[in-house]
């Protein structure tokens, strides 16, 4: 097939990009070469619209072993141990084919982790769907949940935490972000940098098929009416094969055979070979006839662009081929020597004794496009004055019922019960808490992880929203007693060619960067997902933040359930009564305008570190951060979890009752302490200038507010548990 401008455009390339390819090669590329360029130069692989801004994120820290640029980030958790982790999107495939899209998203992120020598120990996810009333939402939710559970459960890796939301902006483009944590010894971390000349390049895992061709390119395009035609671009996963691949790779990694290893994810054999060569400043030569294929008459183009799952590319030490082959034979996996490293700095492909591609590696990586796109700066919306008369007319019990049964607050137990969250036997805090927690097997240490996003805040004011989502991750880790160490991010946005969308991205990244830097909470890995839109209608900006922290002694882990009657309940952090962009304003008042709550990074850090001090001194019996739904929602969840009530006394705060109870001011926590410890707790908080207020006493099974509103804990449970279960069964 002769390549021309029309074919280049069909491959997702702009005309000026095609011209640049011809200039770099000093000739017209053939169809295989064009396919390789289209894969490596799309948004998903090249980050051409985001690289400029991602460079501004803080990526270094005392505990950071590996930051962005590898398959995943790596942090030090002491005693020679390290945690490898990353979050990635699989949005478009999951909308087209929800089960396989979600399943292969989980499989792909797990390969990123065990490629670096780590055994996966925990999965998390952040999934976002359209309005519950939309005709596709229910089936998409069911398919995605089954896909996540199906793959993770078969792999024997617990799913310990997650986030689910519903918003009409996702009607035509759902989000499926998958995160994995793995445990590795610091001296056994593997990287993807090829090294040495004439080293054998090895293909292992499953055979290559025609599934997933153009998957990476599809992920870098908007949806239109021809969405059904894109089904062949969705990969097909096999978790049982991945389990075998995991064990075989870890067995080979136990020795000294591997120079470099890279999973075949987006763009398959293309990206894996080119990334290894680029990092090593080498060339790679591949004989495509030696690639194990499960379909007949596959062309070089198809072999290179296939995104068939459960495959790895390895550069071995010379003389280790037979040793490696025995391991993969034992695990019943394909093994083939398909090429070698060279000093040419080219990727050279041969098929049927002919050279079918020759491309300088630097043209695919260093010379890939990088755009400084135009973007529109957002303005902070004006504050809204809510009429006191309107607020005073509201019935608190009715409002609380509506808030707790809201689709974005209600219990997601229907979802996480379908995930195996206890396999491996080290999960010590299951889904439903502030963070999932897994014990580091055989030690007193535990690792906490959470995943958060706040599209509403980011949509209202991206800079503030970016700060908030990092602060929320920070609070969720601290609430379980973990010292926050680092984050990974998955940045989900609309088209970067739209100035407003690009502005949302730039300012969200700026906010993430400011918060990460101030909190010493660096970004060690991540992913950007653009073009999340259908027919020019984009999603709300949705950066997902995966946070990881360390609990040095798991016996000091904190849960949110109220523990003992007569214990005191305090709020840490000041309530200013900010209800703009709150769930209360949107759900009860039908008000969707106004600014998000301000993020005071000094208070976030000071309040959080002070709470960690209290936890270390064994003063805290339970804790929960205050976020969506405000103070009363946080307390309700603590009552439900502990099957205890509370006598919530009237605050000295001069705010209207509704503003006080449902405001979403940041930097706040609810804590439970023993009355005998009150003096010491107050002493520490006062010393650190942390605002705090005693707000109630734990009682039996009633929730009493200001001596006038009474709700039983059983009623609270009904409010929060019924919606999703009823929705999925209807």
Could you say which of 11, 44, 92, 692 is catalytic?
A: 44
Is 44 known to be catalytic?
A: yes
Phi then psi for residue 286, to 5 deg, are -130, 135
DSSP output for 353-420: TEEEEEEEHHHHTTTS--------PPPPPPP----HHHHHTS-HHHHHHHHHTSTTTS--HHHHTTS-
Could you say which of 11, 53, 90, 92 is catalytic?
A: 90
What is d(CA 311, CA 108) in angstroms, rounded to the nearest whole number? 10
The residue length of the chain stands at 730
DSSP output for 227-279: GGGGGGGS----HHHHHHHHHHHHHHHTTT-EEEEEE--TTHHHHHHHHHHHH
Is 128 known to be catalytic?
A: no
Tell me the two tokens of residue 349: 């492909």
Query: Helices 321-330 and 239-253, interaxial angle, to 10°?
Result: 140
Paired residues of 550 in beta bridges:
447, 483
What is d(CA 582, CA 587) in angstroms, rounded to the nearest whole number? 8
Paired residues of 670 in beta bridges:
571, 624
CB 262 within 8 A of CB 312: yes
What is d(CA 561, CA 622) in angstroms, rounded to the nearest whole number? 6
Contacts of 492 (CB under 8 A, 6+ apart): 89, 91, 175, 177, 529, 532, 539, 541, 542, 543, 544
Ramachandran region, residue 198 (left: φ > 0; alpha: ψ -120 to 50; beta: rest): left
CB 280 within 8 A of CB 348: no
CA distances for 348 relative to 69, 216, 269, 419, angstroms: 24, 21, 13, 44
CA 440 remoteness from chain centre: 21
Paired residues of 569 in beta bridges:
672, 696
CB 479 within 8 A of CB 560: yes
Active site residues: 44, 90
């Amino acid at each position: 097939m002769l390549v021309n401008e029309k074919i280049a455009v069909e491959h997702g390339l702009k005309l000026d990009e095609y011209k640049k390819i011809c200039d770099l090669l000093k000739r017209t590329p053939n169809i295989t070469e064009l396919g390789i360029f289209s894969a490596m130069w799309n948004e998903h692989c090249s980050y051409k619209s985001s690289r400029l801004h991602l460079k501004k994120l803080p990526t270094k820290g005392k505990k950071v072993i590996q930051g962005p640029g590898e398959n995943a980030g790596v942090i030090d958790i002491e005693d020679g141990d390290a945690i490898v982790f990353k979050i990635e999107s699989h949005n478009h495939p999951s909308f087209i084919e929800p089960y396989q899209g979600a399943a292969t998203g989980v499989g792909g992120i797990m390969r990123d982790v065990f490629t670096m020598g780590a055994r996966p120990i925990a999965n998390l996810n952040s999934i976002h769907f359209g309005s519950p009333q939309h005709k596709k939402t229910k089936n998409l939710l069911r398919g995605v949940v089954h896909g996540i559970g199906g793959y993770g459960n078969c792999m024997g890796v617990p799913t310990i935490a997650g986030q689910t939301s519903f918003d009409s902006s996702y009607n035509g483009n759902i989000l499926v972000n998958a995160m994995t944590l793995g445990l590795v010894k610091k001296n056994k971390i593997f990287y993807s940098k090829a090294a040495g000349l004439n080293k054998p390049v090895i293909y292992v895992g499953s055979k290559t098929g025609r599934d997933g061709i153009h998957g990476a390119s599809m992920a870098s395009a908007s949806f239109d009416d021809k969405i059904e035609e894109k089904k062949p671009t969705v990969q097909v996963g096999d978790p049982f094969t991945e389990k075998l691949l995991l064990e075989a790779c870890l067995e080979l990694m136990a020795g000294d055979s591997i120079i470099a290893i890279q999973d075949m994810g987006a763009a398959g054999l293309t990206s894996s070979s080119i990334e290894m060569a680029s990092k090593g400043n080498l060339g790679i030569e591949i004989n495509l006839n030696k690639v194990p294929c499960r379909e007949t008459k596959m062309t070089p183009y198809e072999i290179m662009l296939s995104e068939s799952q459960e495959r790895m590319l390895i550069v071995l030490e010379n003389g280790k081929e037979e040793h490696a082959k025995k391991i993969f034979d034992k695990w019943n996996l394909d093994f083939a020597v398909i090429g070698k490293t060279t000093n040419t700095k080219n990727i050279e492909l041969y098929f049927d004794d002919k050279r079918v591609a020759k491309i300088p590696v630097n043209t695919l990586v260093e010379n890939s496009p990088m755009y400084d796109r135009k973007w529109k700066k957002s303005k902070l919306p004006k504050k809204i004055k809510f009429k006191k008369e309107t607020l005073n007319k509201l019935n608190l019990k009715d409002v609380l019922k509506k808030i707790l049964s809201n689709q974005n607050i209600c219990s997601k137990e229907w979802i996480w019960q379908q995930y195996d969250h206890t396999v491996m036997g080290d999960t010590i805090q299951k889904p439903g808490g502030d963070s999932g927690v897994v014990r580091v097997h055989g030690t007193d240490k535990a690792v906490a992880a959470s995943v958060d996003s706040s599209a509403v805040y980011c949509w209202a004011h991206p800079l503030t929203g970016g700060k908030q989502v990092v602060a929320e991750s920070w609070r969720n880790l601290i609430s379980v007693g973990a010292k926050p160490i680092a984050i990974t991010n998955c940045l989900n946005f609309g088209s970067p060619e739209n100035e407003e969308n690009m502005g949302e991205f730039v300012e969200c990244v700026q906010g993430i960067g400011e918060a990460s830097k101030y909190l010493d909470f660096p970004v060690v890995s991540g992913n950007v997902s653009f073009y999340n839109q259908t027919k020019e209608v984009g999603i709300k900006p949705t950066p997902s933040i995966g946070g990881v922290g360390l609990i040095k002694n798991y016996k000091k882990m904190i849960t949110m359930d109220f523990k003992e009657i007569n214990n005191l309940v305090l709020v840490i952090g000041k309530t200013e009564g900010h209800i703009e962009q709150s769930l209360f304003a949107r759900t009860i008042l039908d008000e969707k305008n106004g600014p998000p709550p301000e993020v005071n990074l000094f208070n976030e850090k000071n309040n959080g570190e002070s709470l960690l001090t209290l936890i270390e001194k064994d003063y805290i019996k339970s804790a929960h951060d205050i976020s969506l739904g405000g103070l009363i929602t946080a307390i309700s969840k603590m009552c439900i979890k502990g099957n205890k009530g509370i006598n919530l006394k009237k605050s000295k705060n001069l705010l209207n009752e509704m503003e006080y109870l449902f405001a979403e001011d940041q930097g706040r926590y609810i804590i439970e302490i023993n009355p005998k410890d009150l003096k010491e707790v107050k002493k520490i908080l006062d010393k650190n200038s942390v605002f705090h207020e005693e707000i109630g006493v734990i009682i039996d099974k009633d929730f009493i507010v200001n001596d006038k509103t009474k709700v039983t804990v059983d009623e609270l449970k009904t409010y929060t548990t019924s919606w999703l279960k009823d929705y999925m069964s209807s």
